[in-house]
Structure 1
Amino acid sequence: MRRPKAEKIMLLRVGTRRSPLAMTQTNFVIGAIREKFPEIEFELRPLASVADRDRVSEFHQFKMIGVFTSEHEEQLLRSEVDLVVHSLKDLPTLLRDGLVLAAVPRREDPRDVLCGSTLDALPQGAKVGTGSLRRRAQIQSLRPDVSVVPIRGNVGPRLARIEGEDGLDAVILAHAGLERLGLGERTSDFLDPRRFPYAVGQGALGIEARAEDTKLREILRAIECPTSRAEVDAEREMLHALGAGCSLPVGAFCEWQGDRLSLQAQVTSLDGTDRVVAAQEEPAGRAKELGLAVAEKLKQLGGAKILEASYRGFFSELKTPQS
């Protein structure tokens, strides 16, 4: 790839959340850019999102899309920052007008994991912590006896609740986040993504920028991973076509067969009693078409009805940031 030219002195203002994981991920992106463009300087502009300020409410109780990202998008639109580093699973599939997903660096292992116990070793009626509707639905689909305890917050405090005063037997987390924080050894069990598909975009970082900033977008393309981009494009297109937000119980699993990408997706009812699964593969250059095809299969199998029930249950007053 031809290396885009940058000015001798260029300052990039980088938006990020304040959590330890967000800061680690942002510094990773800064390091990747600096490796290719050592002449660029950076200024961090951390911001606490609405979901960071409220650590008590469950995600669906905010009744809005983009609880971790909407305020950062406003920073971009006001030109207070030049780019924002997101955990891609938190970024809505529909971006604000004038903003683009400018780059997706190499994705880390996207699987969910159990910390505190393996799945098979969980005792009858075990208490498992998660703040995700998808994880709750999927663990109850596999283990209907499990009692799910809603938990939120940074990774460290969530891990501390295992065998703490809450008496949790395990918590479900993303392996990528544990690895990025140097906590990979806390993983007790990798959950098979064929049975426990991960969140759309999980394990990937998304760098959002203004569409009009062509010079910056050219720079960011230098740190893009084409295979990771194809995976998340397929997953996000599938989620968008279903009309489902990132909080709803939709999981995905991508794998490669040579230069062909396979996408398996699952929609699970909130109580875990019903689920539909669909899969297809396409050449890498047809990632978005792959996502659309899998979404259509899920709809035909009854996935749309499951999602409609989820909306009625939790999202009847859902608001987008634009409303």
Structure 2
Amino acid sequence: MSEDTANGVRNSASHNVKENSRIIRVGTRKSQLAQTQTGSVVNMLKEQYPHAQLEVVAMTTTGDKILDTALSKIGEKSLFTKELETALEKNEVDLVVHSLKDLPTTLPPGFTVGAICKREIPYDAVVVHPNNVGKTLDMLAERSVIGTSSLRRAAQLKRRFPHLEFKDIRGNLNTRLKKLDEKDDYSAIVLAAAGLRRMGWENRISQILEPEDCMYAVSQGALGVEVRVNDPDILEMVSVLNDTETVLRCIAERSFMKQLEGGCSVPIAVHSVINENQLYLTGAVYSLDGSDSLKDTMQTSVSTQTQDEDCSVADVQHVGITAKRIPHNSQAAAEKLGMDLANLLLSKGAKDILTVARQLNDSR
């Protein structure tokens, strides 16, 4: 986006917000990580709109309350978003900050992701018990127990590290680290590196899992800002937060998962990168024990140059995302890439793998 265009956007949105003396309420989960992430988004908005009045509203979600059941067993598609979206629908908040990986690929009517901020490192990280400081997964003793709430992580890591055992661990970031440190139930746990980095806890990371060991979750490491479709001032305001490469990668990843009809109850993993206007997407599906899998890579051409908004396509959504000033042809190409890769894996038998994984998970 050119500086003049950016200034125009900011001035327009700021004028509307100031004109109405509007207090903008920002919804978030109550966890320390969620509030830290929301605080970073609020600070970015304050930099762009210094006169805006921003107020954070924290609340507890279903996923925060149910801590004795594996995420994959609960069966609720919007575990960490439902209460926040209800508040958005009732105009109790004006925008909501999410870890984008928590947002379903199909949003409720009237909502859209109006911005996706620059992605933090999307990889998974290993955090070890204090007795195992300095060790990586391949250095841990036979039958060491690794904690993870993710079928995706467990499936890949069982395949890569067959000498280890895997056990569910629930709770927010602080809770899981406390369970690791204060008990001897786990030799290590696997978490998203992004959360640890945002909290300033990089010193706890013993190992970053590269895609060769464990591909990441769809949209992992990206923050999404959900807004009401019928609130153009807020949609315009948050659009300055969009990071073009992150948006295009996340559209491709979300499209891949949507076409596979995947969620947290089946092991689906991705890896994406943009290099010289080529968007590369690798996607994979796994059986629960990792013994059966399908994986492939496809690419498409995209432009990462921002542009003035084309009013005729301003409200077009791609897998729930409305990304203003990012080339719509590139967004459409990213969405098609995800669908094409999913269809390729489906043609090779991905549906059977995922069906069996879902049935086995339901019966556990």
Q: Indicate the TM-score class for this superposition, using the shorter chain for normalisation.
A: over 0.9
Change (3 A) 1:293 1:194: farther
Question: In structure 1, what is the equivalent of residue 152 of structure 2?
Answer: 134
Separation in 2, partners of 1:194, 1:254? 13
State the secondary structure of the residue aligned to 1:120: helix
Question: In structure 1, what is the equivalent of residue 115 of structure 2?
Answer: 103
Equivalent of residue 54 in structure 1, options 66, 69, 74: 66
Q: CA deviation at 1:106?
A: 0.4
Equivalent of residue 47 in structure 2, options 35, 38, 51: 35
Separation in 2, partners of 1:232, 1:247? 20
1:310 aligns with 2:357: yes
Separation in 2, partners of 1:274, 1:134? 13
Q: 1:123-166 CA distances to partner (integer Å, 9 max, x unpaired)?
A: 21111001111111111111223111210112223223335423
Contact 1:194 1:253 in 2 (8 A): no
Q: CA deviation at 1:66?
A: 1.0
Change (3 A) 1:194 1:283: farther
More off after superposition, 229-238 vs 63-72: 63-72
- Residue-pair matches, total: 316
Question: In structure 2, what is the equivalent of residue 299 of structure 1?
Answer: 346
Q: 1:268-314 CA distances to partner (integer Å, 9 max, x unpaired)?
A: 11111111101111112121111111111111222111111122233
1:71 aligns with 2:118: no
Larger fraction in helix: 2
Equivalent of residue 38 in structure 2, options 10, 23, 26: 26
Contact 1:144 1:272 in 2 (8 A): no
Runs of 4+ in 1 over 4 A off after TM superposition: none
State the secondary structure of the residue aligned to 1:203: coil
Structure 1 residue identity aligned to 2:339: L
Q: CA deviation at 1:74?
A: 1.4
More off after superposition, 88-97 vs 187-196: 187-196
1:218 aligns with 2:236: yes
Contact 2:117 2:223 in 1 (8 A): yes
TM-score by length of 2: 0.84
Contact 1:17 1:23 in 2 (8 A): yes
Contact 1:11 1:43 in 2 (8 A): yes
State the secondary structure of the residue aligned to 1:305: helix
Q: CA deviation at 1:247?
A: 4.3
Question: In structure 2, what is the equivalent of residue 319 of structure 1?
Answer: none
Separation in 2, partners of 1:80, 1:300? 45
5 Å-filtered alignment, 1:1-323, equals 1=1, 2=5, 3-4=8-9, 5=12, 6-7=14-15, 8=18, 9-116=21-128, 117-162=135-180, 164-284=182-302, 285=330, 286-315=333-362
Contact 2:23 2:55 in 1 (8 A): yes
Q: 1:214-252 CA distances to partner (integer Å, 9 max, x unpaired)?
A: 111111111110100001000000000001114421011
Structure 1 residue identity aligned to 2:62: V
Structure 2 residue identity aligned to 1:275: S
Q: 1:183-224 CA distances to partner (integer Å, 9 max, x unpaired)?
A: 011111111113311000100001100111111111111111
| Structure 1 unmatched runs, 5+ | 317-323
Q: CA deviation at 1:10?
A: 3.1
State the secondary structure of the residue aligned to 2:221: coil
Superposition RMSD in Å: 1.4
Matched-pair identity in %: 36
| Structure 2 unmatched runs, 5+ | 129-134, 303-329
Separation in 2, partners of 1:190, 1:206? 24
More off after superposition, 306-315 vs 98-107: 306-315
State the secondary structure of the residue aligned to 2:106: coil
Contact 1:268 1:276 in 2 (8 A): yes
Change (3 A) 1:182 1:247: farther
Contact 1:89 1:246 in 2 (8 A): no
